[in-house]
Copies of this chain bind each other. A is one copy, B any other.
């Protein structure tokens, strides 16, 4: 059996999908604790959404394959090593054509939590990172910024420091 042109094309597309879940951006700067931005994060599968009435923002929560598999098999206490949860956050805006609809306005930031119990022992086993704005500028002056994230997540200690409850998704 020979590798045909079609096979090659499929292989390239496939590699794109595989790599997109695990590779890191070479153009976006890492945050001060060394965490890099996962390339193509915005194309990950959804886990949930949420709104914060205290700061008028809405967000979509996405996950890499490890995180999605953990949810599907109910293994999220604790989340397995390599899980990445990502939040895309926007300011709230009223939709012009429908006053009762609150939609994403200005993009605020992308945030991730990367699970590695050994590497991130001092922050609950999670590596925290945030990139601001559409151009993804790294957040934090030095490594200590992660303590700020971690302290906010402390109320969710019983849920392995994760606030997000995966949304109920339809069967298909």
Using CB atoms and an 8 Å cutoff, list the residues of chain A in contact with chain B: 1, 3, 7, 10-11, 13-15, 17-18, 25, 27-28, 37, 39-43, 45-46, 48-55, 58-60, 62, 88, 90, 92, 95, 97-98, 100-104, 106-107, 110, 131, 133-136, 155-156, 159, 163-165, 167-172
CB pair B53–A102 under 8 Å, yes or no, is yes
- Nearest CB in chain B to that of A17: its residue: B17
Find A60's partner among B49, B107, B133 (CB 8 Å cutoff): B49
Give the copy number. Answer: 2
Q: Measured between alpha carbons, how far is A40 from B18 in the docked complex, in Å?
A: 17
Which of A27, A37, A104 is the most central at the interface, judged by chain B CB atoms within 10 Å of its CB?
A104
Q: Measured between alpha carbons, how far is A21 from B122 in the docked complex, in Å?
A: 41
- Nearest CB in chain B to that of A59: its residue: B49
Contacts A17-B14, A163-B97 given; does A172 touch B39 at CB 8 Å: yes
CB pair B101–A172 under 8 Å, yes or no, is no
CB pair B168–A90 under 8 Å, yes or no, is yes
Residues of B within 8 A of A18 (CB): 10, 13
**A13 CB to closest chain B CB, in angstroms?**
6
Q: Measured between alpha carbons, how far is A165 from B97 in the docked complex, in Å?
A: 11
Which of A28, A104, A170 is the most central at the interface, judged by chain B CB atoms within 10 Å of its CB?
A170
